[in-house]
């Protein structure tokens, strides 16, 4: 057991920004828009750092795929307590079509190369809402997975995961190595304050290309169009119940 944890972090448009669709309907405006780490990825980093602080794991490695700018996101993870970072360089067209399948192939290759015992990811990204990378990574590695984790603990040489599912909580025990995806209530991520960011500048970020890992980032998906959701129609106020029934009948709803 190497005691190494890989944490995936994704650079996404900040959650508080109002999203605008590009005029040519091919995607969303990203130029000049504030970006930050995916909130679920922050929770994943926090969990990994907590495990290290409890001395249950030895090293936390933050990984991100994308162009030069994702180094900021890796730096934030380093400021939160990760030991070193790996930047998988993907840019231009490849980055626009980068999806869960390619990312999970990259993670699987990295997990083998770094001999990781645990991979922690956010359950989904707030920009594409795929909720697939964790599951695909586990499948590619043939590792057990504890998804939607709201609590993670070690029991002997196994991992106990409490999962948030429809209708309540499910507790499972899985073998290591494993993949865990973080849900909202797993923990409270610490803020990466300025002193921590400064200290993190000394930590290393390695550069890797997908080709070095033997991964083909060609996408099998093509985005046809991106549209805004339909505008909400203004509501209509009525005076009496009879009016309401009348209006509903008119609209063909009754």
Q: How far apart are CA 166 and CA 244, in angstroms?
A: 35
| Cβ atoms of 98 and 217 closer than 8 Å | yes
Among candidate residues 133, 135, 117, the one with its CA nearest the CA of residue 125? 133
Task: Give the binding range for another protein (CB under 8 A) out of 170-178, 184-192, 220-228, 229-237.
Answer: 184-192
Q: Quote the least distance from Cβ 9 to another protein, whole Å.
A: 15
198 φψ region: left (φ > 0), alpha (ψ -120 to 50), beta (else):
alpha
What character string, x for contact with another protein (CB under 8 A) and - otherwise, covers 109-128?
-----------------x--
- Residues in region 34-63 near another protein by CB under 8 A: 39-40
Task: Give the binding range for another protein (CB under 8 A) out of 21-29, 60-68, 84-92, 182-190.
Answer: 182-190
Write the burial class of residue 136 (CB in 10 Å: 0-12 exposed, 13-18 middle, 19+ buried): buried
Task: State which residue, 158 or 190, has the beta carbon closest to another protein.
Answer: 190
Among candidate residues 193, 200, 228, 166, the one with its CA nearest the CA of residue 82? 200
Task: State which residue, 131 or 219, has the beta carbon closest to another protein.
Answer: 131
Considering only 28, 191, 245, 248, the residue that binds another protein (CB under 8 A) is 191
Considering only 189, 205, 215, 217, the residue that binds another protein (CB under 8 A) is 189
Q: Quote the least distance from Cβ 14 to another protein, whole Å.
A: 9
Binding of residue 218 to another protein (CB under 8 A) = no
Q: How far apart are CA 207 and CA 89, in angstroms?
A: 7
Task: State which residue, 102 or 181, has the beta carbon closest to another protein.
Answer: 181
- Residues in region 125-144 near another protein by CB under 8 A: 126
């Amino acid at each position: 057991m190497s005691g190494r944890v890989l944490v995936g972090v994704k650079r996404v448009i900040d959650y508080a920004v109002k999203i605008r669709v590009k005029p040519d309907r091919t995607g969303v405006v990203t130029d000049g828009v504030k970006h930050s780490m995916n909130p679920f990825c922050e929770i994943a980093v926090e969990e990994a750092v907590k495990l290290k602080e409890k001395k249950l794991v030895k090293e936390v490695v933050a990984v991100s795929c994308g162009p030069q700018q994702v180094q900021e996101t890796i730096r934030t993870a380093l400021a939160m307590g990760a030991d070193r970072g790996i930047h998988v360089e993907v840019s231009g067209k490849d980055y626009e079509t980068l999806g869960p399948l390619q990312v999970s192939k990259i993670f699987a290759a990295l997990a083998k190369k770094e001999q990781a015992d645990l991979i922690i990811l956010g359950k989904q990204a707030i920009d594409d809402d795929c909720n697939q990378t964790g599951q695909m990574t586990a499948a590619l590695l043939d590792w057990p997975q504890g998804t939607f984790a709201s609590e993670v603990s070690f029991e002997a040489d196994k991992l106990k995961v409490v999962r948030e599912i429809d209708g309540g909580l499910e507790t499972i025990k899985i073998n290591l190595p494993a993949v865990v995806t973080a849900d909202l209530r797993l923990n409270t991520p610490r803020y990466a304050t300025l002193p921590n960011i400064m200290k993190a500048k000394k930590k290393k970020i390695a550069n890797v290309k997908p080709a070095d890992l033997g991964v083909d980032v060609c996408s099998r998906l093509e985005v046809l169009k991106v549209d805004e959701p339909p505008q909400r129609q203004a509501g209509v106020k009525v005076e009496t119940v009879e009016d309401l029934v009348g209006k509903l009948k008119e609209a063909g709803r009754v």
